[in-house]
Amino acid sequence: MDSKELLAYRKQIINDAVRMERKPDRTLHFANYWTWIILDGGYKISEALHDWDIMEKCVVEFQRKYNFDLLLNDGVRNPVSIVEPIGQSAYEIDDEKEIMNIRDISYMKEDEYDALLENFNKFLWETVMPRKYNRFNSELTVKQFGEVVNRYNACLQYIQRVGARLRGEYGVPDGLMTTPMVQCGFEQMFNFLRGIKGVSYDMRKNPDKLKATCELLDEMALSPALSQLEKGTTGDSTYAFDLVFAMLGHTILNIKQWERFYWPSLKKVLDAVVAADKTLYIFAEGISGRFWEYFKDYPKGHIAIHIEQDDVFEFKKALPNCCVAGGMPASLLGGGTKEQCVSYAKHLIDELGAEGFILSQDKMISYRNDTNPENLKAVCDFVREYR
Amino acid sequence: MIDFEKLKTAMGELDNSTVIELLEELMAAGGKGADEALAACQEGMNVVGDLFESGEYFVADLIFAGELMTQAMAIIKPAIAVGAGGNIGKMILCTVQGDLHDIGKNIVKAMLEAGGIEVIDLGIDVAPATIVQTARDQKIKVIGLSGVLTLAIDSMKATVDAFKGAGIRDDVKIIIGGAPVTAEYCKFVGADAWSLNAAKSVEICRNWLI
């Protein structure tokens, strides 16, 4: 197959795996690889995050070597260089130890809900931005801000370029990071404004205002995206899925909190996807099994969920209506032998098949020892050939 | 004298305003009964642990409980007698080298302290040599290593190896915990136990110390 045929083939088997209307030709293999791609490419993390040409080399070389069906990460996560002209405090990169950490920082104080609810844009630009970016203040020059815009444009150009190469040279649909993505209000509070600790306190001490804020943020960000979905304007042919949703905040929630702060938003997304007959890829970080029952009544063929620490076999029993991605342990890829890795991949495919199952890694592979490259190559070669 | 049963219930229900109100009332009256108040708070934290085990509470509740316990301790500390709180021993707790995450560590710390264990918190991104040196200097027999990143596994192994290198591995018990930890990784690291939840960690450490 040439790359054009391969692209069409991959999109077809992705569609078959998710829609579950006919058996895919083989089991899919998605790459849940992140900064590991940079290290495997022979570069330092900070080098690739500050040079889109290096990132492009790493991502394209990764695909050439391992030949996945789709990359969750095509190099655009953590674009730290864009905002550096206005200051940056959340990321900590240590190239010597090959580590990147993102600090849990609360950019909004617990007594600032009224200000946010009164005028979100004013609050964002006048309160949050100066806290998040330490040079975003009255001394900021137009030239400095212009540099941020230039760097943002360079990032957009990179996305175009790397996507075109992955499609054109390797027949891979666009990665999930560059597929249309929605985020609910709680996620924005959890990830950006209040942080993990902040929302944990607010759910107990300030639940009504947190709820009102989640609804406001949903109205501002979620509703327009879902409206586009219903109109059918989303779903560019370069994408394998119509929409992506990152579930991160659920990792701290009890059932009552989930039902109050999270599920109403996610339900809107699921309902809109099904109503528009589209497909959704949910990346569910950590453990999500206690929420599976909320997905069980949705019709087959619309939802794919990438799980991490949950048992992939239990998932299939609980949610036969959903496609599941995951299953391949990072502990095995990093510490096992080639034979052990291939044997486990075979076990997963034999048990779960190709319809409604996508083989992928059970953790976001970020650090060098998370995977032995030889193990990965062996698994990738096996999955492509095994029927 | 305040109602200690009410205090215990309020702590278990994470009713922060009642907990703070009762403790401030106790201190305003001269601090008499602070030891009993501490015990009630610890019992309340046991309830929190039980509710986590049963699935009613989850991580956000433990984060809040840890903060509430810290606030409670700060209020009554001046009136607590030395040795109160049923202290059963000391242990080291830290996030291992290369990992800056402290939320899980802090949850476990609060639960351990509520369980009567004095915790030497070495913080985050802690080098193996620092942990070994502290254990040696303070004659600590129980070590808790926390981490969120998968690379923490390597740091945990390096820490266990550092204890071996120092010739004191058999003198200590080591428990590892955090998102990437599994039974397989526990074996790889060479730790004595592993846990993904705070209540189980407390149980294991208490058994080692008693």
Q: Using one digit for the tens of pLDDT, what is the confidence trace for A197-221?
A: 999 999 999 999 999 999 999 999 8
Order of strands, edge to edge, in the sheet holding A243-247? A70-71, A28-31, A357-361, A323-328, A303-307, A280-284, A243-247, A181-182
The tens digit of pLDDT for each residue in B144-162 reads: 999 988 889 999 999 999 9
Residue A182: enclosing H or E segment and its boundaries?
A: strand A181-182
ipTM of predicted complex? 0.90
Q: What is the mean pLDDT of chain A?
A: 94
Q: Which residues pair with A182 in a beta bridge?
A: A245
Chains A & B: contacts with CB separation below 8 Å: 88
| Predicted local distance difference test score (pLDDT) of residue B83 | 61
Q: Which residue ranges make up each domain of chain A?
A: 3-78+171-385
According to CATH, the topology of domain B89-209 is: Rossmann fold (3.40.50)
Question: Which residue in chain B is spatially nearest to A368 when comparing CA positions?
Answer: B151
Q: Is B16 within 8 Å of A252 when comparing Cβ atoms?
A: no
Q: Write the residue in B67, B150, B154 that is nearest to A330 by C-beta.
A: B150
| Predicted local distance difference test score (pLDDT) of residue B85 | 62
Q: Is B101 within 8 Å of A331 when comparing Cβ atoms?
A: no
CATH of B4-79, one of 1.10.1240.10, 1.20.120.10, 3.40.190.10, 3.30.460.80: 1.10.1240.10
Q: Is A97 within 8 Å of B14 when comparing Cβ atoms?
A: no
Which tokens go with B175? 């428990």
Residue B95: enclosing H or E segment and its boundaries?
A: strand B89-96
The tens digit of pLDDT for each residue in B10-24 reads: 999 999 999 999 999
**Residue of A89, A92, A254, A369 best to disrupt the B interface, most CBs of B under 10 A:** A254
Q: Is B184 within 8 Å of A331 when comparing Cβ atoms?
A: yes
Q: Is B59 within 8 Å of A94 when comparing Cβ atoms?
A: no
Q: Is B154 on the interface with A (CB under 8 A)?
A: yes
Confidence of residue B80 (pLDDT cuts 50, 70, 90): confident
CATH of A3-78+171-385, one of 3.20.20.210, 3.40.50.300, 3.60.20.30, 3.40.50.1370: 3.20.20.210
Low-confidence ranges of chain A (pLDDT < 50): 235
d(CA A238, CA A243): 12
- Half-sphere exposure at residue A157, Cβ-oriented, CA atoms within 13 angstroms: 10
Q: Is B151 within 8 Å of A196 when comparing Cβ atoms?
A: no
| Predicted local distance difference test score (pLDDT) of residue B205 | 95
d(CA A382, CA A375): 11
| Predicted local distance difference test score (pLDDT) of residue A236 | 54
In the block, residue with structure tokens 């030239």: A143
In the block, residue with structure tokens 């071996």: B164
Q: Which residue ranges make up each domain of chain B?
A: 4-79, 89-209
Distance from CA of B183 to the nearest CA of A (A): 10
**Residue of B48, B151, B187, B196 best to disrupt the A interface, most CBs of A under 10 A:** B151
